[in-house]
């Protein structure tokens, strides 16, 4: 399969921390961005892999049956980015003059303009790591049997080192429980089930469909482009960053995620953990937001 990934990226060392990507140090942000892009190539692109053959001190081809061709676009605005510090050939840099918090919509334009060259069109925030080589095979499998007009989203998780909690899926029910209600009715076809490797998997329409990303097949892309509001740069869902990742797919599809019982079936890692995990005196885990340093 041919996969196109568009990533919005903004970094400003000093300035208003309300702007996209200005709260973390340059080294941390660069590390996340590099891991995000390298992960796509290392886990999906068979041409970037090899099996060591000791006698000839060479590498033999691997994963031919799982290999995809992956092209990565990074959209930036002005001089506020770290792309020049990435290894050569890792991505295509698309500079823009967009308002930083609307960079996601520049990515939408890039995905749309490159149709129908690819099989999958993907949007990824710059601190996400996709490390499942079967990711697109799972999406294709879901599309092969799910009703028309449906879309599968991954569950986003973070790693922790609390005594009992090592991994947290962070996009559960939001504090504002009606946040997505104006854009989707999760009572319509609320659950789908299908057997996978002798186990029954459950997929549910979540009240929080946000994952900081989306993955559209060629057919999905055409449906999305034809939907009302395409490229309207709306901030109606939580804010401009969340809207770029999630509002359009909510308007265009019935969105599902793997249910909690099989949450890891399709998942993606958030590399910038936002919570603190502590324990009460009785040993129960408690969650609170980290205090962010302002640059």
Chain segment 3-58, per-residue pLDDT in tens: 999 999 999 876 544 445 555 689 999 999 999 999 999 999 877 888 998 999 99
Whether residue 291 has pLDDT greater than 60: no
- Residue 33 is inside which H or E element, if any? helix 26-44
Higher pLDDT, 116 or 21: 116
Q: Categorise residue 215: left if φ over 0, alpha if ψ from -120 to 50, beta otherwise.
A: beta
Mean pLDDT of 81-101: 96
Q: What is the pLDDT, as a whole number, of residue 249?
A: 97
Q: Compute the distance between CA of residue 119 and CA of residue 126 in angstroms, rounded to an integer.
A: 22
| pTM greater than the 0.75 cutoff | yes
Structure tokens at 136: 């697109």
User: Tokens 């990533």 map to which residue?
Assistant: 7
Q: What is the pLDDT, as a whole number, of residue 293?
A: 45
Whether residue 127 has pLDDT greater than 50: yes
- Residue 61 is inside which H or E element, if any? none
Whether residue 217 has pLDDT greater than 70: yes
Average pLDDT, the chain: 91
Mean pLDDT of 52-72: 90
Cα-atom radius of gyration of the chain, to the nearest Å? 19
Mean pLDDT of 99-116: 97
DSSP code at position 79 = T
Q: Compute the distance between CA of residue 130 and CA of residue 4 in angstroms, rounded to an integer.
A: 14
Domain ranges of the chain: 2-50+62-289
66 pLDDT tier (thresholds 50, 70, 90)? confident
65 pLDDT tier (thresholds 50, 70, 90)? confident
Could you list the beta-strand ranges (E) of 143-274: 150-152, 155-159, 167-169, 191-196, 199-204, 213-217, 254-258, 267-270
Percent of the chain with pLDDT over 70: 95
Q: What is the pLDDT, as a whole number, of residue 24?
A: 65
Residue 52, SS3 per DSSP: strand
Report the range of poorest mean pLDDT among 130-139, 238-247, 267-276, 278-287.
278-287
Whether residue 294 has pLDDT greater than 70: no
The three-point CA angle 129-119-137 to 5° equals 55
CB-based contact 242:210 (threshold 8 Å): yes
Chain segment 129-183, per-residue pLDDT in tens: 999 999 999 999 999 999 999 999 999 999 988 777 889 999 999 888 899 999 9
Q: What is the pLDDT, as a whole number, of residue 21?
A: 53
CATH number, domain 2-50+62-289, options 1.20.1070, 3.90.550, 3.40.50, 1.10.287: 3.90.550
Whether residue 64 has pLDDT greater than 90: no
């Amino acid at each position: 399969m041919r996969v196109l990934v568009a990533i919005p990226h903004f970094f400003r060392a000093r300035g208003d921390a309300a702007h996209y990507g200005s709260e973390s140090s340059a080294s941390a942000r660069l590390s996340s961005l590099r891991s995000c892009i390298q992960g796509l190539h290392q886990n999906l692109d068979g041409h970037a892999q090899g099996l060591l053959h000791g006698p000839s001190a060479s590498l033999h081809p691997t994963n031919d049956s799982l290999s995809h061709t992956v092209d990565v676009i990074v959209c930036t605005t002005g001089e506020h980015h770290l792309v020049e510090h990435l290894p050569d050939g890792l991505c295509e840099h698309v500079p823009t003059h967009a308002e930083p918090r609307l960079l996601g919509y520049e990515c939408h334009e890039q995905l749309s303009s490159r149709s129908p060259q690819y099989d999958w069109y993907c949007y990824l925030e710059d601190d996400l790591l996709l490390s499942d080589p079967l990711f697109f095979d799972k999406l294709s499998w879901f599309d092969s049997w799910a009703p028309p007009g449906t879309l599968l989203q991954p569950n986003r998780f973070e790693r922790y080192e609390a005594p009992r909690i090592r991994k947290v899926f962070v996009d559960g029910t939001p504090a504002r429980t009606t946040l997505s209600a104006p854009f989707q009715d999760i009572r319509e076809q609320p659950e789908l089930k299908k057997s996978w490797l002798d186990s029954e998997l459950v997929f549910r329409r979540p009240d929080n469909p946000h994952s900081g990303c989306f993955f559209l097949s060629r057919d999905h892309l055409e449906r999305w482009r034809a939907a009302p509001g395409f490229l309207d740069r709306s901030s109606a869902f939580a804010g401009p960053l969340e809207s770029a990742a999630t509002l359009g797919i909510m308007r265009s599809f019935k969105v599902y995620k793997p249910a909690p019982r099989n949450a890891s079936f399709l998942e993606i890692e958030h590399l910038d953990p936002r919570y603190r995990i502590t324990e009460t005196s009785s040993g129960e885990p408690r969650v609170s937001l980290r205090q962010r340093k302002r640059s």
